């Protein structure tokens, strides 16, 4: 019984670690500027001064909520050349995160591609590669209950798809949103990636981690960065 409990606890903690590492690696692979590399204020400054981010729009509302958006002309992490690549980061306000009011941000990458049978095939492949990175580490059926167990490629809609992934350590807010669709107005394919960030002591964290909790002591950002190289 004792050995079984130890194995279960090791699996549970390891799953938390793997999930956090996967979201950090995923963001570094798909976003040009990584929010986990430095202080959050440094990350925001890097976005603001990024020379490849054009048509920048920065905004602070009456509640000190910050947002910045822009368009990339060169950067493209997808297997198909995008006709338009947009970046947005915006405050989504204070959320009760592990019983502590915490500012959260949504970091988004939105790409548009010309629609064609070949293009849809490539987009579906890229979309599955993204989904596949989270399907066993994140709970996708926490609210809907419609998709028991890990997702399978055959379960994805061939004409557009939308998935929310809830990290196993925190189910009050989706950690990552993945979506692709054909826009009826323009006829283009749109792919969007949205990642939620918790900002604590001027550092961005993937949801499911709160520094200072005993369960998280060995999963600080420096450890994650070393493990995911």
Nearest Cα neighbor of 203 from 105, 80, 133, 125 is 105
> Taking the CA of residue 179 as centre, how many other CA atoms within 13 Å lie in the half-sphere pointing to its CB?
14
- What pLDDT shows up at residue 169? 65
Q: Please state at what angle helix 221-228 crosses helix 2-30, rounded to 10 degrees.
A: 80
Q: Where are the beta strands (DSSP E) in the chain?
A: 53-60, 66-72, 84-97, 100-113, 138-139, 161-167, 176-182, 189-200, 203-206
Please write the tens of the pLDDT for every residue from 29-88.
Answer: 999 999 988 899 999 999 999 999 999 999 887 666 889 999 998 999 998 999 999 999
Region of 125 (left: φ > 0; alpha: ψ -120 to 50; beta: rest) is alpha
Indicate if the pLDDT at residue 4 is higher than 70. Answer: no
State the Cα–Cα distance between residues 143 and 226, nearest whole angstrom.
34
This prediction has a pTM of 0.80
Please write the tens of the pLDDT for every residue from 185-205.
Answer: 888 999 999 999 999 989 998
Q: Which residues contact 22 (CB under 8 A, 6 or more apart)?
A: 133, 134, 137
Helices (H), the chain: 2-30, 40-48, 117-132, 221-228
Residue predicted with more confidence, 109 or 7: 109
Region of 203 (left: φ > 0; alpha: ψ -120 to 50; beta: rest) is beta
Phi, psi (degrees; rounded to nearest 5) at 2 = -60, -45
In which band, very low, low, confident or very high, does the pLDDT at 18 lie, cut at 50, 70 and 90?
very low
């Amino acid at each position: 019984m004792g050995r079984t409990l130890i194995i279960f606890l090791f699996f549970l903690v390891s799953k938390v670690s793997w999930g956090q590492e996967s979201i950090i690696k995923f963001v570094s692979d798909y976003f040009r500027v990584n929010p986990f590399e430095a202080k959050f204020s440094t990350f925001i400054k890097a976005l603001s001064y990024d020379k490849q981010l054009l048509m920048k729009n920065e905004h602070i509302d009456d509640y000190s909520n910050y947002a910045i958006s822009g368009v990339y002309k060169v950067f493209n992490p997808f297997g198909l050349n995008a006709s338009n690549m947009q970046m947005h980061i915006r405050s989504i306000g204070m959320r009760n995160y592990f019983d502590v009011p915490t500012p959260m941000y949504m970091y988004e990458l939105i790409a548009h591609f010309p629609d064609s049978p070949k293009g849809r095939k490539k987009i579906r492949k890229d979309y599955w590669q993204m989904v596949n990175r989270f399907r066993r580490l994140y709970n996708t059926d926490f609210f809907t209950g419609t998709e028991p167990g890990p997702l399978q490629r055959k379960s994805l809609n061939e004409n557009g798809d939308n998935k929310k992934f809830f990290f196993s350590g925190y189910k009050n807010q989706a950690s990552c949103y993945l979506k692709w669709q054909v826009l009826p107005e323009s006829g283009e394919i749109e792919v969007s990636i949205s990642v939620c960030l918790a900002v604590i002591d001027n550092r961005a964290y993937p949801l499911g981690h709160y520094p200072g909790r005993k369960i998280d002591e060995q999963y600080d950002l420096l450890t994650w960065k070393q493990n995911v190289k």
